[in-house]
Structure 1
Amino acid sequence: MQPESPAGAPRTFRATVEYDGTAYRGFQRQRRGVPSIQAELERALSQITGQPAGVLGAGRTDTGVHALGQVVSFTIEWPDRHGEQALLRALNANLPDDIAVRALAGAAPGFHPRFDARRRTYAYHILPGPVRRPLWRQRAWRVAQPLDVARMNAAAALLIGRHDFATFGRAPVGENTVREVYAAGWVAEGDFVIFRICANAFLQRMVRSLVGSLKEVGSGKWSVDDLAEALAAGERKRSATVAPAHGLYLMSVEYDD
């Protein structure tokens, strides 16, 4: 049995966080007074420990984007005898109702939720139909016209593999815009048409740009070949209008373990 960490010894934790991004200017901490997911997590940790705490995230989701499986890490002073579940309960007791920690466990020192990630999966919800759906106005993109899911899937299949996605986003750091997509496709589920995409990493606004362009294929304004040509062009101006943020969800982040 490993000896208990003494009171005050720093420990690193990894947590899975779910949130409704409607009221926040994205995950990343902003200037003072501007709401963000990162700032709320850090505030809750500081209230629990009485000390400043820094939080790292796997994905810098934009304003209005939601998450079911954001992964974060932080290092705080937390004795073993208190237990991980006690920390999870304390966090949720101090977080606002639109943010919750779903799971929490110890992590190796040096674990980085962004740089250690191997796969990320996003989902995007479209609600086709001519009539507004007020309950979903911050959860899905309402598109008035019907969409051809088969055509959109034919275009989405072109995204799978290793490609330069410069048309559909900007590199968050440096100039490398090559990413590898492992899966991409649309499904009709009830009233919704849902796009799911899994990749090793994403460019800024990449998923929303892809959705906006694939929606043009589904509506008949673009052909599948138009999507292929836009991808090959490597020019940001060749993307269709970026889909709104409120239909996007970070579903999961995967690691080697």
Structure 2
Amino acid sequence: MTKKVVLVVEYNGSAYKGWQAQKTGVPSVQENLEKALAVITNHPVKVICAGRTDSGVHASAQVVHFETNVVRNERSWTLGVNTYLPTDISVIAASDVADDFHARFSAVSRRYRYVIYQSDLRPAILAKGVTWTFKKLNVDAMKEAAKVFLGTHDFTSFRAVGCQANTPIRTILNFDVQQLGHYIVLDIRANAFLHHMIRNFAGVLMTIGAGEKPVTWSKDVLEAQDRCKGGITAPPDGLYFVDAQYPEVFNVPVCKLGPHFLPYVDEPSYELSS
């Protein structure tokens, strides 16, 4: 009897050309996960994720589902699959899920964190895990500038030229900017995101934080509805998929927000629409 299983997956995306499986010889997270699952299930497996990540982008809690007729408990799925995964990909939670669950379409919201490391000297340990800047950033100015993104807007100015989404309209549910020692963290939750949207947010806010543009520039860029007005796209290194939120009825495993090297931060509560 076929059933659905949900996994929560953590990965360092530095060595991969994004989440999505591509042509032979192009490394992807999806391909590696599907190969490992095929060993455990003894049949081909196709996984669906909550939100595809680009080349070099990481995840601390990517949610995926797949179908199988194999019965395993959570420990067997996590430890068993991890045995056949490279060390930069790890399944951190697993459970059976209802037949009508879909990792992408059942998600109410998705959450990313963009981690900026502010220091005179570049980091070595997290060279591909943070976005480094030697510039002194004004976090208060970045917080103020980010407020304009809250709510439902046309985010044409923040989508990649090659973005294939049917509409540039998205709803930002939360946009927080925090300083944690050397780290400046952009914490963003939305119903969905456009291609390069968060990295373009980061590019605008870092420019404002560095004093190169006024706080009002974020509103100017948003209202222009023109990607050419939006400045640079920030690097992928500091970007993490950290959460996908689902209605409680699905009982999807909930993991501590990452990435793990960040200090603990009190989490805001969110109201889900019925």
What's the TM-score once normalised by structure 1's chain length? Answer: 0.93
Letter in 1 for 2:143: N
Alignment map for 1:49-64 (pairs within 5 Å): 49-64=41-56
1:180 aligns with 2:168: no
| Cα displacement (A) at 1:49 | 1.9
Alignment map for 1:67-146 (pairs within 5 Å): 67-79=59-71, 82-146=72-136
157, 161, 166: which one pairs with 2:147? 157
| Cα displacement (A) at 1:175 | 2.9
Q: Structure 1: which 5+ residue stretches go unaligned?
A: 1-8
Separation in 2, partners of 1:173, 1:118 = 21
187, 191, 198: which one pairs with 1:196? 187
Separation in 2, partners of 1:86, 1:146 = 47
**Over alpha carbons, which structure has the higher Rg?**
1
Letter in 2 for 1:230: V
Task: State which drifts further: 168-177 or 135-144.
Answer: 168-177
Match for residue 29 of structure 1? 21
SS of 1:101 mapped into structure 2? strand
Equivalent pairs counted in the alignment come to: 247
Letter in 1 for 2:146: A
Separation in 1, partners of 2:203, 2:77 = 40
Task: Give the 4+ runs in structure 1 shifted more than 4 A.
Answer: 170-174
SS of 2:148 mapped into structure 1? helix
SS of 1:136 mapped into structure 2? coil
Match for residue 3 of structure 1? none
Match for residue 5 of structure 1? none
Separation in 2, partners of 1:45, 1:89 = 11
1:239 aligns with 2:230: yes
Separation in 2, partners of 1:174, 1:58 = 15
RMSD, matched Cα: 1.3
Q: For residues 174 and 119 of structure 1, do their structure 2 counterparts lie closer, same or farther at Cα, with a shift above 3 Å needed?
A: closer
1:19 aligns with 2:30: no
What's the TM-score once normalised by structure 2's chain length? Answer: 0.87
| Cα displacement (A) at 1:203 | 0.4
Q: Structure 2: which 5+ residue stretches go unaligned?
A: 249-274
Counting aligned pairs with the same residue, the percent is 36
Match for residue 4 of structure 1? none
SS of 1:246 mapped into structure 2? coil
Separation in 1, partners of 2:78, 2:87 = 15
Letter in 2 for 1:196: D
Separation in 2, partners of 1:72, 1:98 = 17
| Cα displacement (A) at 1:137 | 1.1
